[in-house]
Amino acid sequence: MKRREFMKGAAVAGAGAAAAVSTLPKPAIAQGKKELKMVTTWPKNFPGLGTGAERLARNITAMSGGSLSVKVFAAGELVPPFESFDAVSSGTADMYHAADYYWQGKSKAFNFYAAVPFGLTATEQTAWIHHGGGQQLWDELSKGFGIKPFMAGNTGVQMGGWFNKEVNSLEDYKGLKIRMPGLGGEVLRRIGAAAVSLPGGEIFPALQSGAIDATEWVGPWNDLAFGFYKVTKFYYYPGFHEPGTTLSSGVNLKTWEGLSADHKAIITAAMAAENDLSLSEFNARNNGALNTLTGKHKVTVKKFPDPVLNEIGKASGEVVGGVRSEGGITAKVLDSFLDFRKQSIAWSKLSDQAYWNARLLPFKYAG
């Protein structure tokens, strides 16, 4: 074959191959760019909560190579904090980052996907949702509101709260106005306190003005950032009401169903990563913040007396069990949660709890 004829044939073949390639469908991840609006219940850039939402958004954007970008709106920037759920449900926003007990007015079942008094720890909560049927029930619950839910963080065990006076008996709760959301607030009402639910940004001014007498928020890292020590010095533990609070992100269901398989996989992976990153960050920061509160700001850390915890425990059992009256999906979630809690307690006695007790025994590393 002459060189001229060979080159001509090669050019034709190359053009044909290029034409064939151009007719192939582009990978789903490369088919245009999409921006999602995320609303949150947190103040802008608030440590661990607001910054966690921002990190989640950045990771989704980076993992998709920019084909799926997420823009975060802090509390009040697009909608008021407690309207985040409705904004996503209606399609005004595409995603929220919050704690699902804020939506208990929609269904009491949402409490179990944030925290309930004397409930599951962070690792137990993750186990229930991932491997104990919790996610399937959460999907069923949220589908009724047009939302696809995900775990997207965890604070770990929280503190019991900040009080203007010491708590020595159940009588000391009588008449106190305390900021506490979810079923924990219902427990406080049952023992004689007046529980109120306030978004994070409204707590300090309410405590400072005397509109509330006490408040819980999260733990030392977050509580130091809000400056509660400037108003009160009594800091109580344990946080019976929130033993491992899940932070969640709900995606508008139509938005979710319209995403490519690639984008769904990216969001799912980013949510799981943030759930782990968040818990580790809280555990890493809390002790240093606690040392600052007690050392620099002279905060007094006190444990709730056992008789008080016993009475609160009884009231908690009544409140948590009482959600069964809502029936339907709520009763199904409750049964699943309580069954997993029973299994978790049996195992933790031989694992985590036994190890924690052993670790307190005299021990010293050589060297």
Q: Distance between CA atoms of 190 and 218, rounded to whole angstroms?
A: 22
Same domain, 130 and 227: no
Q: Distance between CA atoms of 211 and 205, rounded to whole angstroms?
A: 8
Answer whether residue 314 is part of any domain. Answer: yes
Same domain, 134 and 216: no
Q: At what angle do helices 50-63 and 261-291 cross, to 10 degrees?
A: 150
| 328 φ/ψ sector (left φ>0, alpha ψ -120 to 50, else beta) | left
Q: Residue 17's pLDDT is what?
A: 39
Query: Coil, helix or strand for 290?
Result: helix
User: Tens digit of pLDDT for each residue in 136-168?
Assistant: 999 999 999 999 999 999 999 999 999 999 999
Q: Distance between CA atoms of 35 and 233, rounded to whole angstroms?
A: 45
Answer whether residue 26 is part of any domain. Answer: no
Same domain, 139 and 252: yes
Query: What average pLDDT does the segment 323-345 reach?
Result: 98
User: Tens digit of pLDDT for each residue in 214-261?
Assistant: 999 999 999 999 999 999 999 999 999 999 999 999 999 999 999 999
Same domain, 36 and 102: yes
**Alpha-carbon 141 to chain mean position:** 17
Answer whether residue 62 is part of any domain. Answer: yes
Answer whether residue 12 is part of any domain. Answer: no
Residue 29 has which token pair?
A: 């991840």
Q: Residue 367's pLDDT is what?
A: 63
Please provide the distance, in angstroms rounded to a whole number, between the alpha carbons at the two ends of the chain: 81
Same domain, 134 and 217: no
Same domain, 111 and 224: no
Query: What average pLDDT does the segment 121-133 reach?
Result: 98
Q: With 80 as the cut, is the pLDDT of residue 11 above it?
A: no
Burial 285-323 (b: 16+ CB within 10 A, else e): bbeebbeebbeeeebeeeebeeebbebbeebbeebbeeb
Residue 26 has which token pair?
A: 């582009």
Q: Residue 363's pLDDT is what?
A: 80
Same domain, 175 and 219: yes
The total number of structural domains in the chain stands at 2
Q: Which of 211, 193, 194, 190 is nearest to 202 (CA)?
A: 211
Residue 96 burial (CB count, 10 A): 32
Q: Distance between CA atoms of 188 and 174, rounded to whole angstroms?
A: 9
Q: Distance between CA atoms of 127 and 38, rounded to whole angstroms?
A: 26
Same domain, 51 and 169: no
Answer whether residue 24 is part of any domain. Answer: no
Instruction: Specify the CATH number for the domain of residue 317.
Output: 3.40.190.10
Answer whether residue 363 is part of any domain. Answer: no
- Name the DSSP class of 147: E
The more confidently predicted of residues 366 and 129 is: 129
User: Tens digit of pLDDT for each residue in 56-94?
Assistant: 999 999 999 999 999 999 999 999 999 999 999 999 999
Same domain, 231 and 267: no
Same domain, 132 and 172: no
User: Tens digit of pLDDT for each residue in 178-213?
Assistant: 999 999 999 999 999 999 999 999 999 999 999 999
- Strands laid side by side in the 300-303 sheet: 194-196, 177-179, 214-215, 161-163, 234-237, 300-303
Identify the bridge partners of residue 73 per DSSP, sorted by sequence position: 39
Q: Which helix (H) or strand (E) covers residue 184, if one does?
A: helix 182-190
Answer whether residue 96 is part of any domain. Answer: yes
Point out the least confidently predicted range of 102-111, 119-128, 355-364: 355-364
Beta strands in 130-215 (DSSP E): 147-154, 161-163, 177-179, 194-196, 214-215
Containing structural domain, residue 198: 161-242+300-343
User: Tens digit of pLDDT for each residue in 291-316?
Assistant: 999 999 999 999 999 999 999 999 99
Same domain, 149 and 165: no
Averaged pLDDT of the chain: 92
Same domain, 149 and 279: yes
Instruction: Specify the CATH number for the domain of residue 57.
Output: 3.40.190.170
Answer whether residue 358 is part of any domain. Answer: no
Residue 168 burial (CB count, 10 A): 12
Global confidence as pTM: 0.90
